[in-house]
Amino acid sequence: MMMKVVLWSFEILKSLDMRKTIVLFSVFLFLGINFSSAQKKAKKVEPTDPKQTEVWTPVPVVVTPGQVNSSAPSDAVVIFDGTNTDAFEHLDGSPIKWTLNGDGSITVTPKSGDIRTKASFGSFQLHIEWRTPSVVKGEGQGRGNSGIFLQDKYEVQVLDSYNNLTYSNGQASSIYKQTMPLVNACRPPGEWQSYDIIYKAPKFNKKGVKTSSAYVTVIQNGILTHNNTKIQGTTPYIGWPKNPPHEDGPLKLQDHGDLVSYRNIWLRKL
């Protein structure tokens, strides 16, 4: 094939006079230089300002959810059924200081810190329900903010995104600072909402290089918000996604200073 191309190119050049050859050569040179400089431009400089990784347009359209409720199936690992918080710990290994409510839910105790499961997981199907405060305070990222970190690293955002504009890749159901949800499937503040998350863990080789990305599908309140979305790496507030190698990891829930509640947390290992 390569030989054919070479012969074909040679025939074309033979058929052209010197002036046309020079013109043709200049065109190829111009295209080559531009391609090379475009490649250089594509190399992104690490951001130092959080605004550099915010995407404000387009804004996902609003879809009103129906009523859903889902309790654990027989083969699920029940992480939280409302009776105790034994499956969780703070990041320093201490017992959690979040509030266990009488209605089968737990609520973030602001400034007590994130909590994580004691157990670690690979790929899974996760069901989790969450509720932002009915008393609306703050705006943007400061309204009902929490988050669900898959394998301790990849945040599916929890936020009161009901009539609350923020950067699209930071609203509820976003893969934080990476991928905005397909639609805005949020219920009003104070109402229970659900995420059903199908997560495929990334793979790394022995040298610690990622050989297979993580993928995630998210259904919020029965509405698809991510359809097998590729997770580019970690989800930092400032900076690009990173890909440190890791094994199985815990499920982490974020204390962002807001009184967000959770209930009915279970997963099925895949």
Enumerate binding residues for Mg ion (CB under 5 A).
145, 147, 254
Shortest gap between Cβ of 227 and Mg ion (angstroms)?
A: 22
Smaller CB distance to Mg ion: residue 177 or 200?
177
Prior bond to 250 cis, omega within 30? no
CB of 194 to Mg ion, least distance (A): 17
- Nearest approach in angstroms of CB 83 to Mg ion is 27
Residue placing its CB nearer to Mg ion in the complex, 97 or 256: 256
CB of 189 to Mg ion, least distance (A): 16
DSSP secondary structure letter of residue 141 = G
The smaller minimum CB distance to Mg ion, of residues 219 and 258, is found at: 258
For 236, other C-beta atoms within 10 Å of its C-beta total 16
Pairing between β-strand 252-253 and β-strand 146-150 as defined by DSSP bridges: antiparallel
Residue placing its CB nearer to Mg ion in the complex, 10 or 237: 237
Q: Are 154 and 214 within 8 A, CB to CB?
A: yes
User: What residue is closest to Mg ion based on CB?
Assistant: 147
222/210 Cα distance (integer angstroms): 32
Structure tokens at 26: 């200049």
Degrees to nearest 5, angle at CA 268 with 180 and 232:
30
